[in-house]
Amino acid sequence: MIKVIIMAAGEGTRMKSDTSKVLHKILSKEIIRYVYDESRLDNSETIIIAGKNKNSLEEIFDGTRIIEQKIGEEYPYGTGYAISLAKDYIDDNDDVLVLNGDIPLIKKEALEDFVKAHKESGASVSVLSSIVEDPTNYGRIIRDGDNNFEAIIEHRDLRDDQLGVNEINIGIYVFKGDDLKSSLDKLDSNNDQNELYITDCIKILRDLGKTAHAFVNDDPSLFYGINNKKELAEAIEIMRKRINDAYMLDGVIIETPNTVSIEPGVIIGRDTIISGNVVIKGTTKIGSNCTILGSTRIEDSTIEDKVKIDNSIIESSYMEEGSDIGPYSHLRPKAHLGKNVHIGNFVEVKNANVGEGTKAGHLAYIGDCDLGSNINIGCGVIFVNYDGKFKHRSIVEDNAFIGSNSNIVAPVHIAKDAYVAAGSTITKDVGFGELSIERAEQKNIEGYTEKKRKRDLEKLGRRNDN
């Protein structure tokens, strides 16, 4: 079995945050969740070494073994001590993959290749390395004249003739289980930091005549560690590009990839066009041949084929084929638009079903109601659903016409082919084919303007006299 140990106890002081470093998010997903997901290899078990963030990690990784690395004068420090906390859960015949929890850009394939190379080599320990242009501050991989791995030397300990070495230690290792446990027992803190280092296990094993190898991965971007919020932003940009590139290669048209953010796990069909400052999150599924424009945000929603979305917000909602929304409209949770529904400018829909072909062109609130097919919702219509204590639903059947500036005060039932006159406040049911008008009688007063003008002049004259 492969035991995967993720070190996540560091406080990350350079993040300057009350949030643990590994709990910061990239595209709404915690840094450590990327590491956890990508390191779940076949026949593996994960152990997380936590710090003060233990409770938060337990909420995220329910059922995963999480061990707290306590901090204080009575406890040792260092990566070697952190790994030793998992020693009781390592069998002699295990392979143990050790990695840090702050490298969210890692890919499963890279870890699989590394573990495979380690097993084939028969080494007691293997180190993963990469080649970088600027190796400053990184530990270096030192090799002999035959290119065999000799040692890891920290930057501060390098000789002048070693400063040009640009093969760096990534901080990912694979040990044979029995060799790791025996070397951990021999660690000491006799160093300038007074800590127990996992890298010292490699020297211990080599001094015992055990074999150690270093394997190079040619893509250093996979091992980008995050220590501050500038690096977090850089990692977000890399992840965004990686995700967008994958969608484009799979047939999605992203006209502005630098301004489009799509979270991992979103599904998008071919020939869908995305352009603008678009954010797509959560469990969203988008069909083919859709058009998504402007400053649009879609979260946890299903969008079927040939839908158009323009500068709108969609949350936990469903849009059927051929429907469209926007600009500047909002589908709040549990909104369901049927086929060819039109939701126009500044319309809000919440917890409502809107039937096929129904239209609400502008400035309407459609909440807690069930609308049939081919209904016209006029400008300024409000479904009044809240009595101050409880929410109520209204029903409007097929082919009804709701005139502009009407209030539908729930609960009411408006039957098929019924008309609601503009400006009405409807508090009672409307029957099949009926016209409902609820407004005060209009009165036109002759000569009003002239009379008002005379009164205003008289008032002005009195003020001037005073």
**Cα 323 from Cα 340, distance rounded (Å):** 4
Q: What percent of the chain has pLDDT over 90?
A: 86
Kindly state the average pLDDT of the residues 92-121: 96
- Collapsing DSSP to helix, strand or coil, 20 comes out as coil
**Cα 319 from Cα 342, distance rounded (Å):** 10
Q: Which tokens sit at 60?
A: 């995220």
CB 9 within 8 A of CB 80: no
Place of tokens 């039109």: 342
Residue 347's DSSP bridge partners are 364
Angle (deg, nearest 10), helices 31-38 and 108-121: 50
| Position 457 pLDDT exceeds 90 | no
What is the predicted pLDDT for the residue at 242?
Answer: 95
What is the predicted pLDDT for the residue at 109?
Answer: 97
Q: What is the pLDDT of residues 298-314, one digit of tens each?
A: 999 999 999 999 999 99
What is the predicted pLDDT for the residue at 11?
Answer: 78
| Position 72 pLDDT exceeds 90 | no
89, 117, 116, 110: which is closest to 34 by C-alpha? 110
Q: How far is the CA of 457 from the CAs of 426, 428, 465, in angstroms?
A: 43, 47, 12
Which run of H or E residues covers position 248? helix 229-249
**Cα 315 from Cα 317, distance rounded (Å):** 5
281, 253, 249, 257: which is closest to 267 by C-alpha? 281
- 88 contact partners, CB below 8 Å, separation of at least 6: none
Query: What is the set of domains in the chain, with CATH numbers?
Result: 2-223 (3.90.550.10), 232-436 (2.160.10.10)
Distance of CA 348 to the CA centre of its chain: 24
- pTM of the complete model: 0.86
Q: How far is the CA of 301 from the CAs of 139, 287, 316, 360, in angstroms?
A: 46, 11, 5, 20
Q: What is the pLDDT of residues 233-264, one digit of tens each?
A: 999 999 999 999 999 999 999 999 999 999 99
| Position 274 pLDDT exceeds 90 | yes
**Cα 247 from Cα 256, distance rounded (Å):** 13
Reported residue count of the chain is: 466
- Collapsing DSSP to helix, strand or coil, 233 comes out as helix
CB 131 within 8 A of CB 166: yes
Residue 353's DSSP bridge partners are 336, 370
**Cα 92 from Cα 109, distance rounded (Å):** 25
What residues are annotated to the active site? 362
Kindly state the average pLDDT of the residues 124-134: 95
Reply yes or no: is the peptide bond before residue 264 cis, omega within 30 of 0: no
For residue 13, what pLDDT band results from cuts at 50, 70 and 90?
Answer: confident
| Position 364 pLDDT exceeds 90 | yes
Q: What is the pLDDT of residues 108-121, one digit of tens each?
A: 999 999 999 999 99
For residue 190, what pLDDT band results from cuts at 50, 70 and 90?
Answer: confident
| Position 94 pLDDT exceeds 90 | yes
Place of tokens 């009575």: 74
Reply yes or no: is the peptide bond before residue 327 cis, omega within 30 of 0: yes
What is the predicted pLDDT for the residue at 192?
Answer: 65
Kindly state the average pLDDT of the residues 95-112: 97
Q: What is the pLDDT of residues 374-387, one digit of tens each?
A: 999 999 999 999 99
Phi/psi of residue 69, nearest 5 degrees: -95, 105
Q: How far is the CA of 275 from the CAs of 29, 190, 422, in angstroms?
A: 23, 58, 38
- Share the mean pLDDT of the chain: 94
* DSSP per-residue string spanning 114-154: HHHHHHHHT-SEEEEEEE-S--TTSPEEEE-TTS-EEEEE-
- 330 contact partners, CB below 8 Å, separation of at least 6: 312, 313, 314, 315, 347, 348, 349
What is the predicted pLDDT for the residue at 392?
Answer: 97
145, 121, 115: which is closest to 40 by C-alpha? 115
